[in-house]
Structure 1
Amino acid sequence: MNYQTIQVRFQESICYLRFYRPEANNTINNTLIEECMYVLALCEESVTIVVLEGLPEVFCLGADFQGMYEKMANEHEHVQNPEPLYDLWLKLATGPYITISHVRGKANAGGIGFIAASDIVIADQTAQFSLSELLFGLLPACVLPFLVRRVGFQKANYLTLMTQPIRVEQALTWGLVDAYDAQSDTVLRKHLLRLRRLSKTGILRYKRFMDKLSDLRQYKSLALASNQEVFSDAQNLKGIFRYVETGQFPWMD
């Protein structure tokens, strides 16, 4: 398939899925969500490990504000439905494969959603993690159920309120990252050598069991409603679009 927003390769039972929107800082749009879901559907039968990667300087920077701006400028509906993205993260968290986020460079907002939904997170020394939503009057509503499950309520709360990036060392201490090294490719290979020994059936049963211990579906309706509320706020949208046009954050005069 000729993908527009991702690059995909299969190596035996491993799928490597790379976010590839260099012109847009690997931000998330509808096409990226659809293409990722398509690939994960291909992985259902025989793939045992899915590795998510970004660019060397940026893993994923969250919502595509530029795309939202262009839709509004063309008088198209500008409020996106958050459900497909939440379902994509659910699939990463609960699907019959081990999911690994290999993070280099910046991960922000929705990029943290991919990381928090993954079973294992590996990073290099350049990785940094942030939730910038409150700077724009928004909420990381769909991210938080996954993030709270991974790092706990208070650390997710602090990351949300402070809005500033944390370095990989702190992310490791918090449990957002499982392993990091300057040579993260080597760390990834070591993990894959071990994980590829696991059977598809064993992984499936384990993921089903873990899904029942922490049911992310119970938070879905609340997360979607909160997301739609903040992205429907005219003042928030005004601040987002001024940022796209001028680079000024909403609090700047």
Structure 2
Amino acid sequence: MNTAAYETIRVRMQGPVCFLQFNRPEAKNTINERLVYECRQVIDHCREQASILVLEGLPDVFCFGADFQELHEKKASGQSLDPSPEPLYDLWLDLATGPFITISHVRGKVNAGGVGFVATCDIVLADETAEFSLSELLFGLLPACVLPFLIRRIGFQKANYLTLMTQPVNVRQAVEWGLVDACDAESETLLRKHLMRLRYVPKRGIERYKRLMNSLQDGLHRAKPLALEANREVFADPRNQELIFRYIETGQFPWES
């Protein structure tokens, strides 16, 4: 794997551990088509070569959800505005069910699709700056593809509350809800301690364990067509598109006149 060949992520290997860092500082680490494609390439490599995959962001933002700017540029250039949610959903499925241990190392803001990345992982570690939000409803959208993974991790009502309130919750609340497994001011040290232990787990054991867990909880696959259809519906709504594009062009939020 050529770890220097990526535009939106940084990748490094340390023995059986693959570190994948979202690296779009100019766009708050938002999710565009290129990022999804590059993450899928790394995951394909990890299936054979890694037993642990660590997702990281930048110090101030982990991942901030969909790249509205990319949608706006497509609209302005006359391209079809049909953002297919399936590649991203399949990426999250791979993270949730793949034959490796997935860890999210979270610092700073996590919003919308960023919460999806967090919710897919087997283990979530964070520092004290981490905060989590689902802002989609403010734009008339839904966290449709996030919800199956989030409900699996924290339960229906907590996911429901986070979606409806649209406001950030701090890391302490996220720990109480089970979205974050462990938190420390020195999250790098926390991550190292976890990796020191997890390195002892053989890849064959991980593969068998994940296969069993996937069989015990198969709701992610069953939820996929419902999530994709709901996502397509809200992004196709002209009023929602208007709110997104006005925000990109003027900085005005949907509730501002």
Instruction: Give the counterpart of 1:123 among 122, 126, 129.
Output: 126
Query: Does residue 14 of structure 1 match 2:26?
Result: no
Equivalent runs, 1:207-226 vs 2, <5 Å: 207-215=210-218, 216-226=220-230
Q: SS where residue 135 of structure 1 aligns?
A: helix
Tell me, yes or no, if structure 1 residue 235 matches structure 2 residue 257: no
Report the counterpart of residue 203 of structure 1 in structure 2. Answer: 206
Matches of residues 1-253 of structure 1 in structure 2 within 5 Å? 1=2, 2-215=5-218, 216-253=220-257
Asked if the contact 1:16/1:51 (under 8 Å) is kept, the reply is: yes
Counterpart-to-counterpart distance in 1, 2:197 and 2:179: 21
The one-letter code of the counterpart of 1:140 is P
Aligned counterparts of 1:77 and 1:29: Cα–Cα separation in 2: 15
**Gaps spanning 5+ residues in structure 2: where?**
none
Quote the Cα distance in structure 2 between the aligned partners of 1:220 and 1:86.
8
DSSP 3-state at the match of 1:45: helix
Q: Secondary structure at the match of 2:176?
A: helix
Amino acid at match of 1:207: K
Aligned AA (2:254): P
Structure 1 unaligned spans of 5+: none
Q: Distance in 2 between matches of 1:205 and 1:235?
A: 47
Shift of 1:250: 1.3
Counterpart residue type for residue 67 of structure 1: E
Separation (CA, whole Å) in 2 of partners of 1:206 and 1:191: 18
Amino acid at match of 1:4: E
In structure 2, C-alpha distance between the alignment counterparts of 1:25 and 1:58, rounded to whole Å? 6
CA–CA separation in structure 1 for the residues paired with 2:49 and 2:30: 29
Structure 1's consecutive aligned runs of 4 or more residues displaced over 4 angstroms after TM superposition are: none
SS across alignment from 1:100: strand
- Identity percentage over the alignment? 66
Distance 1:137 1:217 in 2: 25
Query: What is the DSSP-based 3-state SS (H/G/I as helix, E as strand, rest coil) of the residue aligned with 2:195?
Result: helix
Alpha-carbon offset, residue 170 of structure 1? 0.2
Name the aligned partner's letter for residue 157 of structure 2: Q
User: Residue 70 of structure 1 aligns to which amino acid in structure 2?
Assistant: E
Name the SS of the counterpart of 2:99 in structure 1: coil
Counterpart AA for 2:107: R
Cα distance in 2 for partners of 1:104, 1:158 equals 22
TM, length-normalised to structure 1: 0.99
* 2: CA distance, partners of 1:14 / 1:47: 6
Q: What's the C-alpha RMSD, in Å, of the aligned pairs?
A: 0.5
Residues 93-137 of structure 1, C-alpha deviation per residue, up to 9 Å, x if partnerless?
000000000000000000000000000000000000000000000
1:71 Cα deviation after fit: 0.7
